[in-house]
Structure 1
Amino acid sequence: MKNIMKKYSLFHIAVAGITIFSSCSKNLDDVQPNTQVTFDQINRSNLPLVLNGAKLALTNNALYQIFGLQDVMSDDFQSIAYVTYEGNNVPSTDNSLTFAYKQPYQCIANANMAIGFATQQPAGDSLITTNMGEAYLLRAYSYMLLTEMFGDVVIVKGGENPKAHPVRNAVSEVRQLIESDLKAAAGALPDYAGQSTMGSKQAAQLLLARLYLNTGRNDEALSMANAVINSNKLKLQSNFGDIFKATVNSPEALYKINEISTNNSTLYGLPSTFGSGKYGTVVRAGSGNTWVDSMLVKTYEASDIRRAYFLRNKGGSILDTVYFVTKFPEEVTPSYPICRYSEAFLIVAEANARKGVVDLTTYNQLRSARKTSIRNSADFADAPAFLAEIEMERRREFLGERLRWSDMQRFGKMNSWLQSFGQPASHVLLPIPSREFPINPNLTQNPDYSK
């Protein structure tokens, strides 16, 4: 892990909402904005720059350092590279926590400025409306990241007094804001038009469906996921690997965020977290010290096109030969999947099953696209049996895409998982980084962690 950033002004920036990070240095130890824009300087011409700054602030050229943390904590992976995450007992002084807490707030600060400017303009300008919609989308996603990792977090909408030291808002309040933002995004953004790096109505709807599913609002999850499918703006495809490529607009890659290249190297991004490292004489990304659970790999059928995206190799610091996920390509421009079309199909199946209805239609549509066997209703005794199968299909489909931790909670697997490591149920959340407490003395730590 690289050292913590020397500049530690994010909390004040997020509260005051006065600085734009439109581009970041490649040196994580000295992150500086190359271009700064105050709120008074925003205009129609540079509004897209502000929005791009929000994306760059979220990635900070190192989103891989936080994107996969909760996947490592889950049952999908094993790791000796992230020992405290593997053991579900992360100290509040952990370096990655600083990025995990700061980067979403940096994105929120920029999004707040874009939203503040756009809402003051006359209605009817499509450029302003579209950029405002994606700002809502990015703000909602950033708060989703924060609540999933830390639970209660401070809501910042811009213009607050940085000396006020606000307390953490309850998760329920943050989720209300997320829902409101995603609805605003869906209303302002155009339909998906083949550009997966641009926000769309369907991306907002799918994130809404995810939010509703995770909070037990199954009817609403079903409605939003069906809206995405019935839009007919996307399609499932047979070339699974294209979904994750930065420069390919796959019809399945609904919304993704790309990073700025780091020294033109292909060794960064998610392959840096999950990669095998050296393979024979070939240098590959990663350390070879975070690998996929072998029992999960064995659940893929031989014909399943997703099965090809594993590499069996000797671990970096262990004697065993293990499986590494390779669906995240080694590219000069790392890319991160925010939401994918296939998620809508499994949300429909799950939301129905949670209502007691065994409807295999969308489940089989996805399985057919993945060239694996389809199922019949007779294969499942009841809705709970089908739910168990949906859970496994989600593991196969979304491996490494930071959905498993929430899935484990929704499917009732979390408490026993934490107990198996001797950890309390409260460790479903990460600790608030210790460096935040001198900045804001009103912050409180999550249970069973020390400051």
Structure 2
Amino acid sequence: MKHLKIYSFFLFSLFVVSSCGKKYLEERMVSNIGDGYLSTRAGFEDALKAAYSSFRSFYATERGMSLTVFGTDTYTRGSDGSWKFVNDYTAQLDARTGIINEVWSDFYRAINTANAVIGRADQIPNIDQATKERRVAEAKFIRAHHYFILLQLFGGVHLSLEEVRSVTNKASRASIKQVYDAITKDLESAIPKLEPDVKKTDWGRATKPAAEHLLARVYLTKATSEAKAPDDYAKALQYAKSVINNYAFKLLPDYAKVFEQGAGEINDEVIWSVQYTSDPITNSTGNNAHVFFLMEYDVQPGMQRDVANGRPFKRFMPTTFGLSLWDRSIDSRYEKNFKMTFFCNRPGTYTIEGRSVTLNAGDTAIHLPSRELTREEILKRPYLVITPSRYTEKLYPTLTKFLDPLRPDRTTFEGSRDFLAFRLAETYLIASEAAMYVGNMAEAANFVNAVRRRAAYPGKEKAMEVTPSQIDIDFLLDERERELMGEQLRWFDLVRTGKLLERVRKHNPQAAPGIKDFHVRRPIPQTQIDLTDGGAASFPQNPGY
């Protein structure tokens, strides 16, 4: 296995980890650790590895998915789940929302652990200078990433860049510019010290291209914020082009291969991923993304739940607009993103469309055609046909890129596949958007066409290309979703481009009645306000909540 496998470590106790093996980060569980341990070489290394565990709190979890996939133009609520109000933007979306509190607290714990690694580095014995600088750079990458997510969710947040060793109730909200300054400073100082490639050593650690990709995304987002600077787009383009041109990354010829589980998770397109594992002892709650996007296939004629088709939680349903994004005659990504046919795994005789149909193992049991069919056409098919007009909150196209057929059984929730957080296709799309805004439309077209040509059906590559005159922010937003659907970027993309309100109101009927102007920010957790000396006067809530 290859995974960076970790538990949590914070300040003086909880769990810590240690290194073992040559190809990945391993772990051991140790409890009741005192403060002095963090100042040892082993504790220093363990604390950093534990800081990585906080990525698992956000990526491929219900909290992270609900805050980034739900309530957008392309995904709305399915029939089940406790967080439908996040999609609907009702009054329940408030300062007491559990998933918001969890991201806040988990990220701040990790930030303080990263602060400890950075602050104590010079006192750690028996560590060479290059290794020490590299570990500090990794901690800065983690800290910058977490502040960037918090900034996008909440706006200005408490900025802590030194380790807190005792309980304090002093906190305040830094300005958006101050937080951006801290993020960019961390990443720009980390980049020269990070390794360019760790595939054969410690896969899962932050690398130089991972930090450059993140910094390109940061500058692209900063460019539309109140902290914007005239050179933000130029810097986003600079860092994106560095990732594209200066390393061995390349787009895989087949879009579907990017998401192959197992060996495919370390491929030439993956810049950095959040590590999960098949070891149930060390996987914590695991990668949960495999359950959220599935329709209720398992109670339909000829079907029962199995490992390959997944455990259908029916949380996220694609909107009509979301399903309309692809030109399915030339773009293979619809076919490779969605499951259109289910094959019988529960043989028997069933009543379908008022007639008796016998299904044998392996027969087509369910088909979701991309167009409407006449009643006569439907009756010619000896299986359940679900046309677009028949979609419900339980029956809709299933996004397949997160399925986990390597789970040990059909009920296992703790998935083992990595979450591909940064991949080269997004780098190209960042570069295209940045090039557009600096006025180089030909370069913008070249970058987006590289992604589109890869997505084309064989022989359709030329038809997939677009001209510079076709490119604007709406086209690029659509293209990002054609490529990156479900990958925890959409809410952020719509907010940073000023399109959240417009597009949700136009394309998400469940969310449209509830969304208000202030919903471009999430509410500050009430516990943070209540525990701060001075309360709301010292730590004000976001407007509207």
TM-score interval, smaller chain? 0.7 to 0.9
Instruction: Answer whether contact 2:74 2:321 (CA < 8 A) is retained.
Output: no
Alignment of 1:1-16 (within 5 A): none
> What residue is the counterpart of 1:311 in the other structure?
339
Pairing of 1:395-406 with structure 2 (within 5 A): 395-406=481-492
CA 415–62 in structure 1, closer or farther in 2 if over 3 Å, else same: closer
Q: Which amino acid aligns with 1:365?
A: A
Q: Does 1:53 align with 2:50?
A: yes
Give me the whole-angstrom Cα distance separating, in 1, the residues matched to 2:46 and 2:296.
36
Distance 1:39 1:141 in 2: 27
1:343 to 408, 426, 451: 426
Deviation at 1:394, TM superposition (A): 0.5
Alignment size in residue pairs: 426
Shift, 1:293, TM fit: 2.3
Residue 246 of structure 1 and its aligned partner are, at CA, apart by 6.3
Structure 1 stretch 42-51 or stretch 344-353: which is displaced more?
Answer: 42-51
Q: 1:36 to 1:324 in 2, by over 3 A?
A: farther
Alpha carbons 2:452, 2:464 under 8 Å: kept: no
Corresponding residue for residue 88 of structure 2: 87
Give the match for residue 112 of structure 1: 115
1:49-448 pair list within 5 angstroms: 49-60=46-57, 64-68=61-65, 69-80=67-78, 81=81, 82-89=83-90, 90-120=93-123, 125-160=129-164, 162-194=167-199, 197-216=204-223, 217-244=232-259, 245=261, 248-259=265-276, 263=280, 268-276=287-295, 278-279=297-298, 280-283=303-306, 284-300=310-326, 301-307=328-334, 308-312=336-340, 318=392, 321-330=395-404, 332-359=415-442, 360-371=445-456, 373-374=460-461, 380=467, 382=469, 385-417=471-503, 420-440=512-532, 441=535, 442-448=538-544
Aligned residue for 1:72, secondary structure, equals coil
CA contact (8 A) 1:209 1:347 kept: yes
Deviations 1:176-226 (A, max 9, x none): 111111112212101134365121111101111101111221111111111
Distance 1:187 1:262 in 2: 34
Q: Please identify, of 62-71 and 322-331, the stretch whose mean Cα deviation from structure 2 is larger.
A: 62-71
After TM superposition, list the pairs within 5 Å mapping 1:24-39 onto structure 2: 34=31, 36=33, 38=35
Deviation of residue 305 (structure 1)?
4.2
Deviations 1:243-286 (A, max 9, x none): 44465311111111123558589985212332335543124234
CA–CA separation in structure 2 for the residues paired with 1:406 and 1:57: 20
C-alpha contact 1:47 1:128 (8 A) present in aligned 2: no
* TM, length-normalised to structure 1: 0.83
Q: Cα distance, 1:380 vs. partner?
A: 4.6
Partner of 2:339, secondary structure, is strand
Alpha-carbon spacing, 1:411–1:206, altered in 2? closer, same or farther (3 Å) = same
More helix by share: 1
Task: Give how far 1:318 is off.
Answer: 4.4
8 Å CA contact 1:22, 1:57 repeated in 2: no
Residue identity opposite 1:310 in structure 2: F
**Which TM-score applies when normalising by structure 2?**
0.70
User: Is the 8 Å Cα contact of residues 21 and 56 (structure 1) preserved in structure 2?
Assistant: no
What is the letter of the counterpart of residue 304 of structure 2?
T
2:289 maps to amino acid = L
The whole-number CA distance in structure 2 between the counterparts of 1:146 and 1:61 is: 11
Q: Where in structure 1 are there 5+ consecutive unaligned residues?
A: 1-9, 24-31
Amino acid at match of 1:94: T
Paired letter, 1:151 = G
Question: Any idea what SS the aligned residue of 2:494 has?
Answer: helix
Output the CA distance in 2 between the equivalents of 1:57 and 1:50.
12
Are the structure 2 counterparts of residues 204 and 219 from structure 1 closer, same or farther at C-alpha, using a change threshold of 3 Å?
same
Where does structure 2 lack aligned partners over 5 or more consecutive residues?
1-7, 18-28, 224-231, 341-367, 369-385, 407-414, 506-511
Deviation string, structure 1 residues 407-450 (Cα, Å, up to 9, x no partner): 2134331232466334321111111222333322333211111x
Q: Residue by residue, what CA displacement relative to the aligned partner does 1:282-339 show, whole Å, maximum 9, x if unpaired?
A: 2423412312224333333345443222124789x94663122110131542432322
- When Rg is computed on C-alpha atoms for both structures, the one with the higher figure is 2
